[in-house]
Chain A
Amino acid sequence: MLVAETETPRQSPSALPRSSQPLSHLRLLEAESIHILREVASEFERPVMLYSIGKDSSVMLRLAQKAFYPAPIPFPLLHIDTGFKFAEMLAFRDEMARQVGAKLLVWRNEPAIAAGTNPMVLDTKRCCALLKTQALLDALRHYNFDAAFGGARRDEEKSRAKERIYSFRDAAGQWDPKNQRPELWNLYNARIHSGESIRVFPLSNWTEMDVWQYIHEEKIPVVDLYFAKERPMYVRGDALMPIEQSFVALPGERPQMVKCRLRSLGCSPCTGAMRSDADTIPAIIAELISFRSSERANRVIDHDQEGSMEIKKREGYF
Chain B
Amino acid sequence: MAAATASSFSIDEFLERERQKDLLRFSTAGSVDDGKSTLIGRLLYDTQSVYEDQVRSIEGKGTTAPGQIDFALLTDGLRAEREQGITIDVAYRYFSTARRKFIIADTPGHEQYTRNMATGASTADAAVVLIDASKGVLIQSRRHAYIASLLRVRHILAAVNKMDLVGYDEGAFRAIKADFSAVLDQIAADTGTPAEVHFVPVSALAGDNVVHRSAAMPWYAGPTLLELLESLPSAQQTHTAPLRLADKDPSAGTPALHPTDKDPSAGTPALHPTDKDPSVGTPAFRFPVQRVLRPNHAFRGFAGQIASGSIRPGDSITVLPSGRHAKVKRIVTWDGDLDEASAPLSVTLVLDREIDISRGDLMVASDAQATVARSIKAALVWMDQRPLDLGRRYLLKHTSQTAPAFLAAIDYRTGLAALDHVPAQTLRMNDIGAVSLNLLRPIALDVYAENRSTGAFILIDPESNATAAAGMITAAFSDPGAAADDAADAWGRVTAGEREARWGHRGGVIEISGPLKLIDSIERSLFAVGAVTSRIEADDDAFLLHPSLLEIVSGIAARSGLLALVVRADEDVTLAARAEGVEITVGAADSIQAVAAVHQLLHRTGIFISSEKADL
Contact of A213 with B by CB under 8 A: yes
Contact of A28 with B by CB under 8 A: yes
Contact check, B346 vs A67: say whether CB atoms are below 8 A apart.
Answer: yes
Across the interface, B1 reaches (CB within 8 A) one of A159, A193, A279, A307, namely: A279
**Which B333-348 residues sit within 8 Å CB-CB of chain A?**
333-336, 338-342, 344-346, 348
Contact of A43 with B by CB under 8 A: yes
Question: With A178-B89, A286-B5 known to touch, is A18 a contact of B338 (CB < 8 Å)?
Answer: yes
Contact check, A297 vs B345: say whether CB atoms are below 8 A apart.
Answer: no
Q: Which residues of chain B are near A213, meaning CB under 8 Å?
A: 15, 18
For A52-67 the 0/1 string (1 means CB < 8 A from B) is 0000000000000111
**Measured CA separation A10–B11 after assembly (Å):** 26
Question: With A183-B119, A277-B5 known to touch, is A190 a contact of B611 (CB < 8 Å)?
Answer: yes
Q: Which residues of chain A are near B453, meaning CB under 8 Å?
A: 185-186
**Measured CA separation A44–B359 after assembly (Å):** 13
Question: Nearest chain A CB to B370's CB is how many angstroms away?
Answer: 17
Q: Which residues of chain A are near B335, meaning CB under 8 Å?
A: 11-14, 18, 66
Question: Nearest chain B CB to A147's CB is how many angstroms away?
Answer: 12
Q: Which residues of chain B are near A294, meaning CB under 8 Å?
A: 51, 53-54
With CB as the reference atom, state the residue of chain A lying closest to B614.
Answer: A42
Contact check, B78 vs A310: say whether CB atoms are below 8 A apart.
Answer: yes
Contact check, A25 vs B346: say whether CB atoms are below 8 A apart.
Answer: no
Question: Nearest chain B CB to A177's CB is how many angstroms away?
Answer: 5
Q: Specify the main secondary structure of chain B where it touches its partner.
A: mixed
With CB as the reference atom, state the residue of chain A lying closest to B611.
Answer: A191
Q: Which residues of chain A are near B339, meaning CB under 8 Å?
A: 19
Question: Nearest chain A CB to B74's CB is how many angstroms away?
Answer: 7
Contact of B234 with A by CB under 8 A: yes
Contact of A293 with B by CB under 8 A: yes
Contact check, A45 vs B600: say whether CB atoms are below 8 A apart.
Answer: yes
Across the interface, A38 reaches (CB within 8 A) one of B291, B344, B399, namely: B291
**Measured CA separation A35–B307 after assembly (Å):** 11
Question: Nearest chain B CB to A305's CB is how many angstroms away?
Answer: 10
Question: Nearest chain A CB to B452's CB is how many angstroms away?
Answer: 7
Contact check, B1 vs A277: say whether CB atoms are below 8 A apart.
Answer: yes
Contact check, A22 vs B11: say whether CB atoms are below 8 A apart.
Answer: no
- Partner-contacting stretch, out of A69-77, A79-87, A106-114, A132-140: A69-77
Q: Which residues of chain A are near B93, meaning CB under 8 Å?
A: 154-155, 161
Q: Which residues of chain B are near A66, meaning CB under 8 Å?
A: 333-335
Q: Which residues of chain B are near A24, meaning CB under 8 Å?
A: 18-22
Contact check, B342 vs A177: say whether CB atoms are below 8 A apart.
Answer: no
Q: Which residues of chain A are near B80, meaning CB under 8 Å?
A: 177-178
For B469-503 the 0/1 string (1 means CB < 8 A from A) is 01000000000000000000000000000000000
Question: Nearest chain B CB to A207's CB is how many angstroms away?
Answer: 5
Contact of A290 with B by CB under 8 A: yes
With CB as the reference atom, state the residue of chain B lying closest to A41.
Answer: B291
Contact check, B92 vs A30: say whether CB atoms are below 8 A apart.
Answer: no
- Partner-contacting stretch, out of B62-70, B172-180, B459-467: B459-467
Contact check, B293 vs A68: say whether CB atoms are below 8 A apart.
Answer: yes
Contact of B236 with A by CB under 8 A: yes
Contact of B215 with A by CB under 8 A: no
**Measured CA separation A67–B305 after assembly (Å):** 10
- Contacts A19-B339, A307-B82 given; 20 further ones with Cβ under 8 A? A18-B335, A22-B22, A38-B291, A43-B611, A66-B334, A67-B303, A71-B293, A157-B77, A182-B118, A182-B119, A182-B458, A187-B399, A189-B460, A192-B465, A205-B94, A277-B5, A279-B1, A282-B2, A307-B78, A310-B77
The 8 closest A-B pairs by CB, nearest first: A158-B77, A34-B346, A71-B295, A191-B465, A283-B2, A66-B334, A294-B51, A69-B334
Q: What would 14 A/B residue contacts be, using CB atoms closer than 8 Å?
A: A19-B338, A24-B22, A34-B346, A38-B291, A38-B303, A71-B294, A183-B467, A184-B456, A187-B457, A190-B611, A209-B96, A282-B11, A282-B15, A286-B5
Point out residues on B near A: beta carbons under 8 Å: 1-2, 4-6, 9, 11-12, 14-15, 18-23, 51-54, 74-80, 82, 88-94, 96, 100-101, 103, 115-116, 118-119, 122-123, 234-236, 290-291, 293-295, 299, 301, 303-305, 332-336, 338-342, 344-346, 348, 359, 383, 395, 397-400, 452-453, 456-458, 460, 462, 465-467, 470, 600, 603-604, 611-613, 615
